[in-house]
Chain A
Amino acid sequence: MRLPEFTRSTRFRWTFAASGAFILCILMMFGFILAQAYSYMTTDVDALNNEIANAIASHEPQQRVLGLEQYLRADPHHVKLGGLFTADGRRIAGNIETLPPMLRGDAGAQLASLTKIDGGAREQHAVRAVARGLPEGGTLVIARSDYEFTWIVHIVERALAVGLIPALCLSLAVGVFLSIRAQKRIEEVNSKIQRIVAGELRERLPARGTNDPFDKLAALVNGMLGEIEVLVRRLAGVGDDIAHDLRTPLTRVRISLERARQKAGNLEELRRSVDQALVELDQSLAIITALLRISEIEHSRRVDGFRDVALGDIVREVGDLYEPIAEDKKVDFAVRAEAETKVHGDRDLLFEAIANLVDNAVKFTPQGGRVELSLLRHGNQAVVRVCDSGPGIPADESELVTRRFYRSDKSRRDPGLGLGLSLVSAIAKLHGFSLKFSSGPGCVAELVGQSASAQKRLAS
């Protein structure tokens, strides 16, 4: 037979076990009480029997019959038994039919089963009995039926039946109810999870707003799902962008190779096509390299290798590197690094970030324009600012520019990978710096970080 589903639930089993333990406890407690009551009553009855037996036995032989009968007469609860027997076991007086062998002579208090005769009726009684051997050779037996104890046991049994069975039923019912409820919830969660696994990342686990542990767990998982959804979407977006940005150069490679294969009349023409294809391939490789580099920086633990670096030196070096480029392009390039500021970081990465900002600025500034690279100090903060007189970044795009492959529509036709600023952003994030874009007349990019001394003060 298959048990219903809910019986397999943990909650049900726990309820079941708890009810079992509870019942066992109660039974044990009652058992103990009964045992105590029995032993107390037995001692009491035995003492009483002994006393009476002694009293009657101490009478003269004729008086004994009278005493016994008097004793037996006052018996409203029909619990008294007694008998006088001759030495050969014949009954002289009393309501005990026969003398059992173990009660012959002086026998201590014990359990016995005696037949009581009451008028014409005979009935068997479980009793506590004592026997006294009489000087002239007979035996006096005084016994008391354990009626009272049986009665108590009866009461207890009734109490148990009336109290315990409903309690048991109630606890089982609660267990069943709870486990069915839990089961239902688990099934709900289960089906949701199956949908999520199947790719429905927008699904969320049901929450009842009751703030129970289950709800808290659901809220936690939902938060996690939200994060995953965002990441997956971003990843998918990046994947599309990669595909698009790689497809463009790869298509050109294909075209130029195909044309070379069909049209090239001599080695020189073939070479020219292949060279063109190589340039496009290099572009594709550069995209992949840049992407790998960004993810390397994003996931790196280079923080361990951070040192105090003088930003002024880096700024001057970048200036040194880009000055000829700007001059070639007839862009006025000014470098100002008057403030000496040290920051905690990776020199090479910071150089790369600043170089990228300058690279961008020079690239997007038209001939005759101006690019300015400066290092400023605002209180505890070091600010590397790159201003240009280019077209600038529209306010609604200033958030987007650090995304991978994002290119402002205005610049879509310019050469470039669209990855430079996401690289800068990754480096800034690794250093705990902020990267801000605003529009002056042109574009103003600012890399803002805590100076090393301020950082140390904070740490200590």
Chain B
Amino acid sequence: MVLETVTAFIGAPEPLDQGEGDPGPQAEPHGGPEGSLMSRVLLIEDDAETAREIMAELADRGFEVDWAATGIEGLDKARTGDADVMIVDRLLPGVDGLTIIEVARQKRVCKPVLVLSALGAVDDRVRGLRAGGDDYLTKPFAIQELIARIEALLRRPSENRDTVLRVGPLELDLLSRTAKRGERVIDLLPREFRLLEYMMRRKDQLLTRAMLFEEVWNYKFVPQSNLVDVHMGRLRRKVDATNEQPMIHSVRSEGFILRAPA
């Protein structure tokens, strides 16, 4: 029921606390840089109510959703492989979620998979990822977290060999480990450098605190204090000087977005 509460009111676009009249991440076109085609999501989830909420939310965001309620049906649909991303519940009647992923991987279906599970145990998480899942989310989750992770999976940065990342005036040299905004040199600590690199590779995407903590700090537990916020605050003070247009935006209670100034 947590999910219902969340979706019922959060479906509408969140205002940004930076308040620039920006339409927010939800209005952005989905489906990668081309942005022409609708992204198709295959949702394999046996609980009809959860599935309905997820589908409604995904549809609102411009995804085309295909739902499979059982493992066997899901396996069928996964095998044809015309979805851009799959959301697979770990525990399904008939065929186990991990089996579906394994079979799909054997069929060389290399579309990204997000594993959902009520099992929070770390060992299960590891098993889910080892079976070929690309990300793992534990129930109950905030729908925003799910959407953010789906988008991150869809727009995974290509393995380009550029040694310099650029977002607007922001420039990050991966070889010399230096950062510049326009002509201003930004002095970053190693951890801040990694954080900025991660955000620049995923510009214009909502990055939740949990995602950042997992990817930048490499830890899977949820810290009690507002750790990520504090670190982000420091980085923001360095990236966005007082007289500059802000590039790091926080989306209230959800996460952060790095965006080139308008």
* B120/A292 in contact, CB under 8 A: yes
Known: A285-B140, A300-B123. A279 touches B223 (CB 8 A): no
A351 at the binding interface (Cβ < 8 Å): yes
* A293/B120 in contact, CB under 8 A: yes
Closest partner residue, chain A, to B191 (CB atom) = A320
A315 at the binding interface (Cβ < 8 Å): no
Residues of B within 8 A of A351 (CB): 219
Name the interface residues of A282-300: CB closer than 8 Å to any CB of B: 282, 285-286, 289, 292-293, 296, 300
B230 at the binding interface (Cβ < 8 Å): yes
Closest partner residue, chain B, to A297 (CB atom) = B122
* A363/B225 in contact, CB under 8 A: yes
Q: How far is the CA of A186 from the CA of B223 in the complex (A)?
A: 55
* A417/B9 in contact, CB under 8 A: no
Known: A321-B227, A363-B225, A420-B224. A352 touches B219 (CB 8 A): yes
Name the interface residues of B117-138: CB closer than 8 Å to any CB of A: 120-123, 138
B222 at the binding interface (Cβ < 8 Å): yes
Q: How far is the CA of A296 from the CA of B191 in the complex (A)?
A: 30
A313 at the binding interface (Cβ < 8 Å): no
Known: A275-B252, A293-B120. A348 touches B224 (CB 8 A): no
Interface string of B180-202 (1 = CB under 8 A from A): 00000000000100000000000
Interface string of A240-271 (1 = CB under 8 A from B): 00000000000000000000000000000011
**A423 smallest CB distance to B (angstroms):** 9
B2 at the binding interface (Cβ < 8 Å): yes
A278 at the binding interface (Cβ < 8 Å): yes
Q: Which of A278, A293, A320, A359 contacts B253 (CB 8 A)?
A: A278
* B123/A355 in contact, CB under 8 A: no
**B182 smallest CB distance to A (angstroms):** 25
* A325/B222 in contact, CB under 8 A: no
**Tally of contact residues, B, Cβ under 8 A:** 29
Q: Which of A277, A293, A300 contacts B5 (CB 8 A)?
A: A277
Residues of A within 8 A of B217 (CB): 321
A176 at the binding interface (Cβ < 8 Å): no
Q: How far is the CA of A417 from the CA of B225 in the complex (A)?
A: 11
Interface string of B42-54 (1 = CB under 8 A from A): 0000000000000
* B2/A359 in contact, CB under 8 A: no
Residues of A within 8 A of B221 (CB): 293, 348, 352
Q: How far is the CA of A264 from the CA of B149 in the complex (A)?
A: 32
* A274/B9 in contact, CB under 8 A: yes
B6 at the binding interface (Cβ < 8 Å): yes
A324 at the binding interface (Cβ < 8 Å): yes
* CB-based A-B contact count at 8 angstroms: 65
B220 at the binding interface (Cβ < 8 Å): yes
B231 at the binding interface (Cβ < 8 Å): yes
Interface string of B133-157 (1 = CB under 8 A from A): 0000010101000000000000000
Q: How far is the CA of A286 from the CA of B164 in the complex (A)?
A: 39
**A50 smallest CB distance to B (angstroms):** 98
Residues of A within 8 A of B252 (CB): 275
* A325/B224 in contact, CB under 8 A: no
Closest partner residue, chain B, to A267 (CB atom) = B12
Residues of A within 8 A of B5 (CB): 277-278, 281
Q: How far is the CA of A38 from the CA of B219 in the complex (A)?
A: 97
Q: How far is the CA of A348 from the CA of B219 in the complex (A)?
A: 7
Residues of B within 8 A of A320 (CB): 191
Residues of B within 8 A of A274 (CB): 9-10
Closest partner residue, chain B, to A417 (CB atom) = B224
Q: How far is the CA of A272 from the CA of B9 in the complex (A)?
A: 10
B177 at the binding interface (Cβ < 8 Å): no
* B225/A281 in contact, CB under 8 A: no
The residue among B138, B142, B224, B230 with the most chain A CB atoms within 10 A of its own CB is: B224
Residues of B within 8 A of A409 (CB): none
A362 at the binding interface (Cβ < 8 Å): yes
Q: How far is the CA of A322 from the CA of B219 in the complex (A)?
A: 14
Extra pairs beyond A302-B122, A416-B224, A420-B224 (6, CB < 8 Å): A296-B121, A321-B231, A325-B230, A328-B233, A362-B225, A417-B224
3 interchain residue pairs of minimum CB distance: A274-B9, A324-B230, A325-B230
> Which residues of B pack against A, CB within 8 Å?
2, 5-6, 9-10, 120-123, 138, 140, 142, 191, 217, 219-227, 230-231, 233-234, 252-253
* 28 sampled A-B residue pairs with Cβ under 8 A: A274-B9, A274-B10, A275-B252, A275-B253, A277-B5, A281-B2, A282-B142, A285-B2, A289-B120, A296-B120, A296-B121, A300-B121, A302-B123, A320-B191, A321-B217, A321-B227, A321-B231, A322-B227, A325-B227, A325-B230, A328-B230, A348-B219, A348-B220, A348-B221, A352-B219, A352-B221, A359-B225, A363-B225
